[in-house]
Homo-oligomer: A and B are copies of this chain.
Amino acid sequence: MTAATRVLLLAHGSSDQRWCDTFEALAAPTLQSLPEARVAYMELASPTLEEEVGKAVTEGIGDIRVVPLFLAAGRHLRKDVPAMLEEYRQRFGVDITLLPPIGEDPRLGQVLKDIVEGTLEESHA
C-alpha cells in the first residue's frame, strides 16, 4: 500500500444525524482497517466530497478512489457525482476514479440472503 492513494467512501448525506451515524457505523470496519480511507458526503453533511478531495491533495495524494455507499446508480451517480469529480480533477490536478456503487458487488447479495435467513430463523425460534 502506498501513501499516494486515498479511498473516499461517498455517502449521499442528510441533515438527520442518525442517518449519518448509520453510514459512519457502516464505514467503521473499513476505516479501522485501512488508514487511507475516509468518509465524505455529497451534500447536506460534512466533511463534503470537495473538502476531502482538497485535503487529500494538500497531503500529497495523487490518486483518489471514490467508493459510493449507494445500493444502485441513480441520477446522483450517473450525472451529479461525475460532474463534481470532473471539476475537482481539473481544479486540483489529481487522478480520481469513481468506482461502482457497493450494491452492484455480488457479495452484497450474499449478505442480504444471510440477513433475511437470520431474520426468519429468529422468528421461528
A73 contacts the other chain (Cβ, under 8 Å)? yes
Interface contact A113-B73, CB-CB below 8 Å: no
Residues of B within 8 A of A109 (CB): 25-30
User: Are B112 and A30 interface neighbours, CB within 8 A?
Assistant: yes
Q: Is the CB of B73 within 8 A of A71?
A: no
B71 close to A69 (CB less than 8 A): yes
Minimum distance in angstroms from A39 CB to a CB of chain B: 11
Structural contact, B115 and A22, CB atoms closer than 8 A: no
Complex CA distance for A37 and B114, rounded to whole angstroms: 13
- Is A108 at the interface (CB under 8 A from chain B)? yes
Residue of chain B at shortest CB distance from A7: B116
Nearest CB of B to A16, in Å: 6
A123 interface hit (Cβ, 8 Å) = yes
Given A73-B22, A111-B108, A30:B67 Cβ within 8 A: no
Ranked 5 nearest A-B pairs via Cβ = A22-B72, A29-B113, A30-B113, A29-B109, A19-B72
What is the interface of chain A, defined by CB distance below 8 A to chain B? Answer: 1-2, 5, 7, 9, 11, 14, 16, 18-19, 22-23, 25-30, 33-34, 36-37, 63, 65, 67, 69-75, 99, 101-117, 119-120, 123-124
